[in-house]
Homo-oligomer: A and B are copies of this chain.
Protein backbone atom coordinates (compact mmCIF):
# COMPACT_ATOMS: atom_id res chain seq x y z
CA UNK A 1 0.00 0.00 0.00
CA UNK A 2 3.01 2.13 -0.59
CA UNK A 3 1.36 5.20 -2.06
CA UNK A 4 -2.12 4.77 -0.60
CA UNK A 5 -3.45 6.09 2.70
CA UNK A 6 -6.78 5.17 4.25
CA UNK A 7 -9.10 2.20 4.35
CA UNK A 8 -12.51 3.42 3.18
CA UNK A 9 -11.59 6.97 2.17
CA UNK A 10 -8.35 6.30 0.35
CA UNK A 11 -5.97 8.65 -1.31
CA UNK A 12 -3.23 7.49 -3.64
CA UNK A 13 -0.67 10.13 -4.50
CA UNK A 14 1.61 10.09 -7.51
CA UNK A 15 4.22 12.16 -9.22
CA UNK A 16 7.86 13.08 -8.76
CA UNK A 17 8.90 16.62 -7.94
CA UNK A 18 10.54 17.07 -11.31
CA UNK A 19 8.34 14.85 -13.50
CA UNK A 20 5.30 15.79 -15.56
CA UNK A 21 2.75 16.20 -12.80
CA UNK A 22 1.91 15.40 -9.22
CA UNK A 23 -1.52 14.58 -7.93
CA UNK A 24 -3.94 12.30 -6.19
CA UNK A 25 -6.72 9.82 -6.71
CA UNK A 26 -9.39 9.83 -4.06
CA UNK A 27 -11.26 6.54 -3.87
CA UNK A 28 -14.26 5.96 -1.67
CA UNK A 29 -15.55 9.52 -1.68
CA UNK A 30 -19.24 9.78 -0.76
CA UNK A 31 -21.44 10.79 -3.68
CA UNK A 32 -23.84 13.67 -4.21
CA UNK A 33 -21.78 16.26 -2.37
CA UNK A 34 -21.08 19.68 -3.88
CA UNK A 35 -17.39 20.60 -4.03
CA UNK A 36 -16.18 24.17 -4.38
CA UNK A 37 -12.96 23.76 -6.35
CA UNK A 38 -11.88 27.33 -5.62
CA UNK A 39 -11.78 26.42 -1.94
CA UNK A 40 -9.78 23.29 -2.72
CA UNK A 41 -7.31 25.46 -4.62
CA UNK A 42 -7.20 27.93 -1.73
CA UNK A 43 -6.38 25.16 0.75
CA UNK A 44 -3.70 23.90 -1.59
CA UNK A 45 -2.21 27.38 -2.01
CA UNK A 46 -1.44 27.40 1.70
CA UNK A 47 1.24 24.73 1.24
CA UNK A 48 2.77 26.43 -1.79
CA UNK A 49 6.31 27.83 -1.61
CA UNK A 50 6.85 31.42 -2.64
CA UNK A 51 4.03 32.69 -0.46
CA UNK A 52 6.04 34.94 1.80
CA UNK A 53 9.45 36.26 2.77
CA UNK A 54 9.77 33.33 5.19
CA UNK A 55 9.53 30.61 2.60
CA UNK A 56 11.33 29.43 -0.49
CA UNK A 57 11.30 31.99 -3.29
CA UNK A 58 10.48 29.19 -5.72
CA UNK A 59 7.21 30.16 -7.33
CA UNK A 60 4.99 27.20 -8.03
CA UNK A 61 1.54 28.15 -9.20
CA UNK A 62 0.22 24.65 -8.49
CA UNK A 63 -3.03 25.01 -10.36
CA UNK A 64 -5.27 22.03 -9.81
CA UNK A 65 -6.92 20.26 -12.67
CA UNK A 66 -9.70 17.79 -11.97
CA UNK A 67 -9.84 15.05 -14.60
CA UNK A 68 -12.40 12.71 -13.06
CA UNK A 69 -14.97 12.19 -10.35
CA UNK A 70 -16.94 15.43 -10.49
CA UNK A 71 -19.68 16.68 -12.78
CA UNK A 72 -20.81 20.25 -12.19
CA UNK A 73 -18.82 20.11 -8.98
CA UNK A 74 -20.86 17.19 -7.64
CA UNK A 75 -19.13 14.04 -6.46
CA UNK A 76 -20.18 10.98 -8.45
CA UNK A 77 -18.84 8.40 -5.99
CA UNK A 78 -16.20 7.55 -8.60
CA UNK A 79 -12.47 8.20 -8.16
CA UNK A 80 -11.64 11.89 -8.08
CA UNK A 81 -8.37 12.61 -9.84
CA UNK A 82 -6.60 15.91 -9.25
CA UNK A 83 -3.44 16.92 -11.08
CA UNK A 84 -0.94 19.72 -10.79
CA UNK A 85 1.49 20.10 -13.67
CA UNK A 86 5.11 20.66 -12.72
CA UNK A 87 6.30 23.90 -14.25
CA UNK A 88 9.18 25.36 -12.32
CA UNK A 89 11.93 22.85 -12.97
CA UNK A 90 14.99 24.99 -13.13
CA UNK A 91 18.31 23.34 -12.44
CA UNK A 92 18.91 22.60 -8.82
CA UNK A 93 21.38 24.44 -6.69
CA UNK A 94 24.03 21.84 -6.20
CA UNK A 95 25.92 21.45 -9.44
CA UNK A 96 26.90 17.89 -8.73
CA UNK A 97 23.50 16.90 -7.45
CA UNK A 98 22.96 13.95 -9.70
CA UNK A 99 26.10 12.27 -8.50
CA UNK A 100 26.51 13.19 -4.83
CA UNK A 101 24.12 12.05 -2.11
CA UNK A 102 22.81 15.07 -0.20
CA UNK A 103 23.25 14.57 3.56
CA UNK A 104 20.07 13.71 5.49
CA UNK A 105 18.05 13.58 2.27
CA UNK A 106 16.48 10.50 0.69
CA UNK A 107 18.96 10.34 -2.20
CA UNK A 108 21.13 7.56 -0.86
CA UNK A 109 18.36 5.30 0.42
CA UNK A 110 16.30 5.78 -2.75
CA UNK A 111 19.28 4.70 -4.83
CA UNK A 112 19.92 1.79 -2.47
CA UNK A 113 16.34 0.55 -2.69
CA UNK A 114 15.44 1.19 -6.31
CA UNK A 115 18.79 1.26 -8.06
CA UNK A 116 17.86 4.48 -9.77
CA UNK A 117 18.62 8.03 -8.85
CA UNK A 118 16.27 10.47 -10.48
CA UNK A 119 18.02 13.44 -12.03
CA UNK A 120 17.89 16.36 -9.59
CA UNK A 121 15.27 16.77 -6.91
CA UNK A 122 13.98 14.41 -4.31
CA UNK A 123 11.57 12.36 -6.38
CA UNK A 124 8.80 11.11 -4.15
CA UNK A 125 10.60 12.29 -1.03
CA UNK A 126 10.08 15.91 -2.03
CA UNK A 127 7.56 18.01 -0.14
CA UNK A 128 5.91 18.41 -3.51
CA UNK A 129 4.44 14.93 -3.08
CA UNK A 130 2.23 16.41 -0.38
CA UNK A 131 0.25 18.35 -2.99
CA UNK A 132 -1.83 15.25 -3.54
CA UNK A 133 -2.42 14.77 0.17
CA UNK A 134 -3.49 18.36 0.71
CA UNK A 135 -5.77 18.38 -2.33
CA UNK A 136 -7.39 15.15 -1.19
CA UNK A 137 -7.89 16.51 2.30
CA UNK A 138 -9.41 19.71 0.95
CA UNK A 139 -12.11 17.62 -0.73
CA UNK A 140 -12.62 15.59 2.44
CA UNK A 141 -12.94 18.74 4.52
CA UNK A 142 -15.79 20.04 2.41
CA UNK A 143 -17.68 16.76 2.74
CA UNK A 144 -17.07 16.69 6.47
CA UNK A 145 -18.41 20.23 6.50
CA UNK A 146 -21.79 18.82 5.50
CA UNK A 147 -21.70 15.67 7.61
CA UNK A 148 -20.12 17.18 10.75
CA UNK A 149 -20.73 20.93 10.51
CA UNK A 150 -19.10 21.73 13.87
CA UNK A 151 -15.86 19.87 13.26
CA UNK A 152 -12.76 22.07 12.98
CA UNK A 153 -9.23 20.90 12.23
CA UNK A 154 -6.68 23.59 13.04
CA UNK A 155 -2.89 23.38 13.16
CA UNK A 156 -0.34 26.06 13.93
CA UNK A 157 3.33 26.60 14.60
CA UNK A 158 3.94 25.65 18.23
CA UNK A 159 7.68 26.16 18.56
CA UNK A 160 10.49 27.40 16.33
CA UNK A 161 13.80 25.97 17.52
CA UNK A 162 13.77 27.00 21.20
CA UNK A 163 11.05 29.65 21.03
CA UNK A 164 7.85 28.15 22.43
CA UNK A 165 4.46 29.70 21.68
CA UNK A 166 1.41 29.53 23.91
CA UNK A 167 -1.24 27.62 21.98
CA UNK A 168 -3.33 26.58 24.94
CA UNK A 169 -6.57 28.37 24.05
CA UNK A 170 -9.02 27.53 21.31
CA UNK A 171 -7.52 28.56 17.98
CA UNK A 172 -9.20 29.31 14.65
CA UNK A 173 -7.75 28.87 11.23
CA UNK A 174 -8.42 32.54 10.51
CA UNK A 175 -6.15 33.54 13.42
CA UNK A 176 -3.43 31.21 12.22
CA UNK A 177 -3.60 32.54 8.67
CA UNK A 178 -3.11 36.15 9.77
CA UNK A 179 0.66 35.84 9.49
CA UNK A 180 2.98 34.06 7.13
CA UNK A 181 4.47 32.39 10.19
CA UNK A 182 1.19 30.64 11.07
CA UNK A 183 1.77 31.01 14.80
CA UNK A 184 -1.19 32.56 16.63
CA UNK A 185 0.85 33.67 19.67
CA UNK A 186 1.41 37.36 18.96
CA UNK A 187 3.93 37.60 21.78
CA UNK A 188 6.38 35.29 20.05
CA UNK A 189 5.85 36.10 16.38
CA UNK A 190 8.60 38.69 16.05
CA UNK A 191 11.22 36.58 17.77
CA UNK A 192 10.34 33.53 15.71
CA UNK A 193 10.52 35.46 12.45
CA UNK A 194 13.90 36.93 13.36
CA UNK A 195 15.23 33.50 14.17
CA UNK A 196 14.14 32.12 10.81
CA UNK A 197 15.47 35.06 8.82
CA UNK A 198 18.75 34.95 10.70
CA UNK A 199 19.13 31.25 9.87
CA UNK A 200 18.34 32.01 6.25
CA UNK A 201 20.97 34.73 6.14
CA UNK A 202 23.49 32.22 7.47
CA UNK A 203 22.55 29.62 4.87
CA UNK A 204 21.21 27.50 7.66
CA UNK A 205 17.82 26.06 8.66
CA UNK A 206 15.74 25.60 11.80
CA UNK A 207 13.07 23.15 12.96
CA UNK A 208 10.48 23.05 15.70
CA UNK A 209 7.02 21.69 16.28
CA UNK A 210 3.46 22.01 15.01
CA UNK A 211 0.41 21.67 17.24
CA UNK A 212 -2.82 20.30 15.78
CA UNK A 213 -6.31 20.30 17.25
CA UNK A 214 -9.51 18.58 16.17
CA UNK A 215 -12.40 20.43 17.77
CA UNK A 216 -15.88 18.90 18.02
CA UNK A 217 -14.75 15.51 16.83
CA UNK A 218 -17.57 13.01 17.35
CA UNK A 219 -16.96 10.21 19.85
CA UNK A 220 -16.48 6.65 18.67
CA UNK A 221 -13.85 7.17 15.94
CA UNK A 222 -10.89 4.78 16.02
CA UNK A 223 -10.49 1.07 16.63
CA UNK A 224 -9.38 -0.53 19.89
CA UNK A 225 -6.24 -2.38 18.83
CA UNK A 226 -3.93 -1.60 15.90
CA UNK A 227 -6.00 1.09 14.20
CA UNK A 228 -6.28 3.26 17.27
CA UNK A 229 -7.08 6.80 16.23
CA UNK A 230 -3.79 8.07 17.71
CA UNK A 231 -1.88 5.26 15.97
CA UNK A 232 -3.28 6.22 12.58
CA UNK A 233 -2.63 9.90 13.33
CA UNK A 234 0.93 9.03 14.31
CA UNK A 235 1.49 7.14 11.08
CA UNK A 236 -0.09 9.97 9.11
CA UNK A 237 2.13 12.62 10.68
CA UNK A 238 5.32 10.55 10.67
CA UNK A 239 4.80 10.00 6.95
CA UNK A 240 5.23 13.73 6.33
CA UNK A 241 8.68 14.73 5.11
CA UNK A 242 11.01 15.96 7.90
CA UNK A 243 8.82 14.84 10.81
CA UNK A 244 10.75 13.22 13.65
CA UNK A 245 8.26 12.85 16.48
CA UNK A 246 4.61 12.68 17.42
CA UNK A 247 2.72 12.99 20.68
CA UNK A 248 -0.95 13.02 21.61
CA UNK A 249 -2.61 14.72 24.56
CA UNK A 250 -0.18 15.05 27.44
CA UNK A 251 2.50 13.36 25.33
CA UNK A 252 6.07 13.11 26.60
CA UNK A 253 5.44 15.80 29.22
CA UNK A 254 2.62 13.78 30.75
CA UNK A 255 5.01 10.96 31.57
CA UNK A 256 6.56 13.19 34.27
CA UNK A 257 3.28 13.10 36.24
CA UNK A 258 1.86 10.62 38.73
CA UNK A 259 -1.19 8.66 37.64
CA UNK A 260 -3.26 10.54 40.17
CA UNK A 261 -2.23 13.80 38.52
CA UNK A 262 -2.67 12.47 35.00
CA UNK A 263 -6.06 10.74 35.02
CA UNK A 264 -8.99 12.62 33.51
CA UNK A 265 -11.95 12.47 35.88
CA UNK A 266 -15.35 11.95 34.28
CA UNK A 267 -18.01 14.56 34.97
CA UNK A 268 -21.46 15.40 33.65
CA UNK A 269 -21.72 18.74 31.90
CA UNK A 270 -24.84 19.99 30.10
CA UNK A 271 -26.23 16.48 30.34
CA UNK A 272 -23.26 14.96 28.51
CA UNK A 273 -20.45 12.81 29.84
CA UNK A 274 -17.23 14.83 29.67
CA UNK A 275 -13.77 14.73 31.15
CA UNK A 276 -12.79 17.42 33.65
CA UNK A 277 -9.27 17.67 32.21
CA UNK A 278 -8.05 16.42 28.83
CA UNK A 279 -4.64 14.80 29.25
CA UNK A 280 -5.99 11.93 27.14
CA UNK A 281 -6.02 14.36 24.22
CA UNK A 282 -9.55 13.41 23.22
CA UNK A 283 -8.75 9.71 22.69
CA UNK A 284 -9.13 6.86 25.18
CA UNK A 285 -8.33 3.26 24.33
CA UNK A 286 -7.78 4.35 20.73
CA UNK A 287 -11.30 5.76 20.38
CA UNK A 288 -12.31 9.44 20.37
CA UNK A 289 -14.29 10.49 23.44
CA UNK A 290 -15.78 13.74 22.15
CA UNK A 291 -13.19 16.07 23.73
CA UNK A 292 -10.74 18.12 21.67
CA UNK A 293 -8.13 15.93 20.05
CA UNK A 294 -4.70 17.46 20.44
CA UNK A 295 -1.31 16.41 19.15
CA UNK A 296 2.13 17.80 18.49
CA UNK A 297 4.55 16.91 15.68
CA UNK A 298 8.31 17.53 15.60
CA UNK A 299 9.89 18.73 12.36
CA UNK A 300 13.66 18.68 11.99
CA UNK A 301 15.61 21.60 10.55
CA UNK A 302 15.37 20.98 6.80
CA UNK A 303 18.34 19.19 5.32
CA UNK A 304 18.93 21.63 2.48
CA UNK A 305 21.39 24.25 3.70
CA UNK A 306 23.81 26.61 1.98
CA UNK A 307 27.06 25.54 3.52
CA UNK A 308 29.78 23.16 2.44
CA UNK A 309 28.96 19.61 3.44
CA UNK A 310 30.84 16.34 3.52
CA UNK A 311 29.31 13.57 1.45
CA UNK A 312 29.87 10.63 -0.89
CA UNK A 313 29.04 10.21 -4.58
CA UNK A 314 27.41 7.28 -6.35
CA UNK A 315 30.80 5.76 -7.04
CA UNK A 316 31.50 5.66 -3.33
CA UNK A 317 34.04 8.50 -3.36
CA UNK A 318 33.95 11.14 -0.63
CA UNK A 319 33.12 14.62 -1.91
CA UNK A 320 32.59 18.09 -0.51
CA UNK A 321 29.25 19.49 -1.66
CA UNK A 322 29.45 23.20 -2.38
CA UNK A 323 26.13 25.01 -2.52
CA UNK A 324 25.07 27.18 -5.41
CA UNK A 325 22.53 29.93 -4.91
CA UNK A 326 19.39 28.03 -3.93
CA UNK A 327 15.73 28.46 -3.28
CA UNK A 328 14.65 26.31 -0.37
CA UNK A 329 12.92 27.14 2.87
CA UNK A 330 15.00 27.91 5.95
CA UNK A 331 12.11 26.54 8.01
CA UNK A 332 9.46 24.08 6.89
CA UNK A 333 7.07 24.83 9.74
CA UNK A 334 4.72 27.45 8.22
CA UNK A 335 4.18 25.36 5.10
CA UNK A 336 3.84 22.19 7.17
CA UNK A 337 0.78 23.59 8.96
CA UNK A 338 -1.66 22.79 6.13
CA UNK A 339 0.05 19.43 5.57
CA UNK A 340 -0.55 18.47 9.20
CA UNK A 341 -4.16 19.60 8.95
CA UNK A 342 -4.52 17.58 5.77
CA UNK A 343 -3.32 14.36 7.39
CA UNK A 344 -5.59 14.91 10.39
CA UNK A 345 -8.58 15.50 8.11
CA UNK A 346 -7.84 12.35 6.14
CA UNK A 347 -7.68 10.30 9.35
CA UNK A 348 -10.96 11.71 10.61
CA UNK A 349 -12.71 11.18 7.28
CA UNK A 350 -11.56 7.58 6.98
CA UNK A 351 -12.44 6.66 10.56
CA UNK A 352 -15.76 8.47 10.25
CA UNK A 353 -16.74 6.26 7.30
CA UNK A 354 -15.55 3.16 9.14
CA UNK A 355 -17.56 4.14 12.19
CA UNK A 356 -20.63 4.78 10.06
CA UNK A 357 -20.57 1.21 8.76
CA UNK A 358 -20.44 -0.13 12.32
CA UNK A 359 -22.89 2.27 13.88
CA UNK A 360 -25.54 1.73 11.23
CA UNK A 361 -25.45 -2.05 11.73
CA UNK A 362 -25.18 -2.20 15.52
CA UNK A 363 -27.71 -4.40 17.25
CA UNK A 364 -29.93 -3.52 20.16
CA UNK A 365 -28.67 -5.98 22.76
CA UNK A 366 -27.12 -4.63 25.93
CA UNK A 367 -24.53 -6.11 28.23
Contact = CB atoms under 8 A, between A and B. Distances in A.
Q: Across the A-B interface, give the 3 residue pairs with the lowest CB-CB distance, nearest first.
A: A106-B285, A205-B259, A245-B247
B254 A207 contact: yes
A27 B108 CA distance: 22
A316 interface: yes
Contacts of A318: 266-268
Given A209-B255, A234-B235, A254-B207, A309 B365 contact: no
Contacts of A263: 103-104, 303, 305, 309
Contact of A252 (B8, B224, B252, B288): B252
Contact of A248 (B12, B244, B301): B244
What is the total number of copies of this protein in its complex? 4
B116 A74 contact: yes
Given A1-B10, A241-B285, 8 more contacts: A2-B27, A14-B80, A34-B365, A75-B363, A108-B284, A109-B220, A129-B225, A228-B239
Given A30-B361, A32-B365, A357-B8, A249 B257 contact: no
Interface stretch (A36-44, A47-55, A88-96, A118-126): A118-126
A330 to B, nearest CB: 8
A361 B31 CA distance: 8
6 contacts: A103-B275, A113-B220, A203-B260, A207-B257, A208-B255, A234-B237
A285 B110 contact: yes
B312 A268 contact: yes
B248 A247 contact: no
A366 interface: yes
A301 B255 contact: yes
A84 to B, nearest CB: 10
A345 to B, nearest CB: 15
A255 B162 CA distance: 8
Interface in A265-303: 265-268, 271, 273, 275-276, 279-281, 283-290, 298-303
Given A3-B226, A115-B362, A225-B239, A300 B244 contact: no
A211 to B, nearest CB: 13
Contact of A259 (B206, B219, B311): B206
A161 B261 CA distance: 12
Contact of A310 (B117, B143, B244, B267): B267
A146 B360 CA distance: 12
B266 A310 contact: yes
A174 interface: no
A179 interface: no
B115 A298 contact: no
B239 A231 contact: yes
Contacts of A112: 219-220, 287, 289-290
A77 interface: yes
Interface string A297-340: 01111111101011110001110000000000000000000000
